[in-house]
Structure 1
Amino acid sequence: MPKSSASRGARAAGLMLLCATLAGCGHLERWGSAARLVAAMADAPPEALPTPAREVSYPGEARRYRADLYPAAGEARAALVLVHGFTRHGKSDPQLRRFAGQLAQARFQVLVPQIPGLTRFSVSREDVDAITASLAFLAEHSELRQGLAAISYSVGPAMLAAMAEGAEAEFILAIGGYHDLVEVIRFATTGHDALGAAAGAPNELGRWLILASHAAQLPRDEDAELLRRIARRKLTARWADISDLRAQLTPAGQRVLALVNNRDPERVAPLIAGLPAVLQREIRALDLAHRDLSTLQACLVLIHGEDDPVIPPSHSVALAAAAAPGRARLFVVSGIGHVDVQPGLADAFSLWRAAVALLEAARRETCREDTDQGP
């Protein structure tokens, strides 16, 4: 993130100036809304975090879910489920609340569900249920066009929810999402990107996020807690000694740790094949690479950081390629880490175009194909 509130303010001011200048050419309402969304993506510091109108709850197949509802400012253009990524704060995450508020200012009715697994840094099939239930709640209480916005690892569950029978999502904003979970693991642990050209030292953040995610799926609670403690220790200090925790793991826990510690791209597949069956089922269930995304009827607006150290942009490229012709608009932008936006003015133009694409997708019955993969 930027080093100070002053630098955030200066950057946001520059972005708003650029967007306001562009908006002066016409289509003021639409482009002005896009400018506000770009400012939210750029982490512009608000005077106060927006407050949702109310908290709601509704049933899913697995449990009841809670969500915050942000009313649209003025006549609503569409209803949107905003799905958070890995954050302990869930729907109360300050950056997420800021983004929800800016979407509401752009005249979206925004529902932000609390996804229990994602607050524990774990992605699972239960997340799909939470998002499906959120879409059903919007459909029951609104006649507006429906959409989804998802961040990072929540993109997969959001796509699966949109493909579920009876789902009414007509547009999806996916920021920094994945396509192939096996390749996410390969990249996070070895630095090898089989979907693109990237190869290098793996990012340690991604390695230990993978461990935290898989830990929650283990049937033995003691193993899950030990692996979470290992992940926390390594995220705090890369060279931390974990021998005391490793010694307490069962063979199943040891196999998970072996996958995460592996640095050989060729060993990833056999190591996954050796995982406990429950983990293999979760990976398979959440993997979009084995799904026919051409059946997805929603318009896709895909944004990805060119230098994302956790999920490389090749995954959004693959998502766009897997969608039906004309249904995906892809924006690969430099100046973005893993859903951490610090664009310069040139890159803000791509973000602005992505924001316009979202607004267009929210009001159109058809998609318009477009890509922007940078210079």
Structure 2
Amino acid sequence: MVGTSRIRRRLRTLTLAAALGAGGCARLLGGEAGVVLEAIEYGPDRTELGRTTPPPRRQRLPNADLWLPGDGEARAAIVLAPGFAEAGRDDPRLLPVAESLARAGLAVRVPDLPGARRLTLDPADIAAMRQAARTEAAAGRRVALAGISFAAAPALLAAQDGVAELVVTVGGFHAIEAMAVFAATGAHRAPGEAAWRRAAPNRFAIGAFLLAIAESMPDRSDRWLLRGAAARLLDTAEPLPATPPPGLGAEGRAALALATERDPARIPDRLAALPAAARAALAALDPARAHLGTCTLAIHGLEDPVIPWTQSAALAEALPPGRALMVLVPGFGHVEPAAVPPEGQLALVRAMRVLLAWRDGRDPCEESHGGVANGSPQPS
């Protein structure tokens, strides 16, 4: 079948570990927050956190892994979800994050997300995160939900039932339509802006988006051919073909037309032309359609080429006043933590301090009354 191991190797790098593992010299800058970030980047065994805390207990459960502090009771719980990652809870980039947060006093539950493991969009991921949060609440622990990239959507949507006190998104998004516009055309804009910001269309972003749509195609042949198109974008420098491949049906051609559209004004019509199953899958995982009110920490790299920081700005704008904290990280991309400058590391320290404040029983949104770290860059 087309688009197997090579696609999976690329997509499984979209993990929360990669996004949070940019501590660098953060331990020198941020007290406990810096120590935790250092452990995430280098692995706890090689850092101060590993030397001063006992190894956590990792419980292998049927639908999740549960990491518990090595001594004493957890002070709170976080449900931690990577984005597209075939290995799911076993992804090696996720493990130092779960271990470090458990050493910091959190119960860390990493659920299996069926859609994310298949590298596609699936509303079942929302149910998996919701059930994980309820399980932790039933154990008497306060709960936060955390997701990176596409996993931000199930985290936000699962929070609607009110069990979680905090949502953390890393490189997340607010609207499926805006995601499609950026992936296909490179156009994006912050709340209140009329002019488009422009970037080059991102092959990885549209390849991942196309692969996700492919899985909802009713026709088996369309699914196979669209997986091939996604593989072409993800694994080669070749453009998509100017004409649809032989055998691609009308519904598959509609998906390919979305992927090759370069006019942002036409993306809504391209989305509307997708088959009903694809539209339903996208709508079910669209935070823009949801009622969001949980205190949300939105962390986003200003250099993110896959999901633009303007999507976290839109998410913060959509939340009720005082219920959003946005941390924009200079020099940080989507999954590559290398070479984050000192100002970016300071931003990550601020974000970790928010999580640790919540761990200690404080409402970070109430304390700060919402806010934006580093402001918003000017249109370019």
Q: TM-score, normalised by structure 1?
A: 0.83
C-alpha distance in structure 2 between counterparts of 1:52 and 1:278, whole Å: 41
Q: CA deviation at 1:358?
A: 1.0
SS at match of 1:53: strand
Q: 1:146 to 1:315 in 2, by over 3 A?
A: same
* Between 361-370 and 204-213, the greater mean CA deviation after superposition: 361-370
Match in the other structure for 1:183 = 178
Q: CA deviation at 1:359?
A: 1.2
Match in the other structure for 2:60 = 55
Match in the other structure for 1:28 = none
Percent identity between the aligned chains?
34
Q: 1:325 to 1:363 in 2, by over 3 A?
A: farther
Match in the other structure for 1:63 = none
* Contact 1:226 1:245 (8 Å CA) reproduced: no
**Which of these residues, 146, 150, 163, is aligned with residue 153 of structure 1?**
150
Match in the other structure for 1:318 = 314
C-alpha distance in structure 1 between counterparts of 2:271 and 2:243, whole Å: 24
C-alpha distance in structure 1 between counterparts of 2:352 and 2:23, whole Å: 15
Match in the other structure for 2:358 = 361
Match in the other structure for 1:163 = 160
Q: 1:360 to 1:241 in 2, by over 3 A?
A: closer
C-alpha distance in structure 1 between counterparts of 2:240 and 2:347, whole Å: 43
SS at match of 1:324: coil
Match in the other structure for 2:5 = none
Q: Superposition pairs for residues 287-306 of structure 1, below 5 Å?
A: 287-293=286-292, 296=293, 298-306=294-302
SS at match of 1:100: helix
* Between 255-264 and 364-373, the greater mean CA deviation after superposition: 364-373
Q: CA deviation at 1:118?
A: 0.7
Deviation digits for residues 227-275 of structure 1 (CA, Å, limit 9, x no counterpart) = 1222123211021676898223221111111111111112111111111
Q: CA deviation at 1:73?
A: 3.9
Match in the other structure for 1:276 = 275
Name structure 1 gaps, 5 residues minimum: 1-10, 24-31, 58-65
Q: Superposition pairs for residues 43-82 of structure 1, below 5 Å?
A: 43-45=41-43, 47=45, 53-57=58-62, 66-74=63-71, 75-82=73-80
Q: 1:13 to 1:243 in 2, by over 3 A?
A: closer
Deviation digits for residues 133-183 of structure 1 (CA, Å, limit 9, x no counterpart) = 21122223x10111111101111111111103xx41011111010001101
Deviation digits for residues 277-329 of structure 1 (CA, Å, limit 9, x no counterpart) = 11112222222223332xx2x32111000111111111111111221222211
Matched, 1:114 2:142: no
Name structure 2 gaps, 5 residues minimum: 1-21
Match in the other structure for 2:252 = 253
C-alpha distance in structure 1 between counterparts of 2:98 and 2:360, whole Å: 19
Q: Superposition pairs for residues 213-224 of structure 1, below 5 Å?
A: 213-224=212-223
Deviation digits for residues 45-101 of structure 1 (CA, Å, limit 9, x no counterpart) = 5558988622113xxxxxxxx111111244311011101101121111111111111
* Contact 1:123 1:154 (8 Å CA) reproduced: no
* Between 284-293 and 146-155, the greater mean CA deviation after superposition: 284-293
Q: TM-score, normalised by structure 2?
A: 0.82
SS at match of 2:42: coil
Match in the other structure for 2:103 = 105
**Paired residues, what number?**
338
Matched, 1:15 2:12: no
Match in the other structure for 1:93 = 91
